[in-house]
Amino acid sequence: ALSWLCPDPKALVLDVCCGVGTIGLAVANKCKKVVGLELVPEAVESAKHNAAINGIKNAEYHAGKAEETLPSLLPKELAELGEDCEVCAIVDPPRPGLHKDVLTALRCCDQLSRIVYISCNPDSLVEDVVKLTSMTHDDQDPFVPVRAVAVDMFPHTVHVEMVLLLERKSRAPVPPPLPPKEQQAEGSAKKQESAAEASEKTAAAP
């Protein structure tokens, strides 16, 4: 997740639903400032303590609902750091996903170039990604999914932890063009032939 975030040294990193600050603190030495938001006050105090014992002075944490804190806090941070400040975000919400006001605040922040979304519920992840990536009349530079990985943190269950990178459409790398349909059909036929040959060899083996 941290290697995907790759913030600019002058960037502001938002750590939404930060818990005790583990992820944001790990990237603090690669950016200008980390701002963490967390609902549980005790977790915020732990995040501040973790920053202090690790000598990290460019991280601050706020207790409260992200949907109430972020919309008012983000403009203040941008005014302080300047209009040319890049913004990156890490979000690690609970199973219901992100509140619609958080999604709106993230999408409407023109300086926000990259989001690393960590999810324990792929269903709510899909719903939030649709809201971040859909085209609207007011915003013609939506986010696009760039890469994703599933992490099996719950062995012997159907649950996985998902990590997804989203970037602004205008900044995302252009995918290579698909081969012509004739080549796709030819490649598919070869794969089927290879699979059939392998199956015949297995059946013929003593």
> Which contacts of 139-146 are long-range, i.e. CB under 8 A and separated by 24 or more positions?
139/107, 139/108, 141/110, 141/168, 141/169, 141/170, 142/107, 142/168, 142/169, 143/107, 143/115, 143/167, 143/168, 143/169, 144/168, 144/169, 144/172, 146/172, 146/173
Contacts of 173 (CB under 8 A, 6+ apart): 146
- Residues acting as catalytic residues: 120, 161
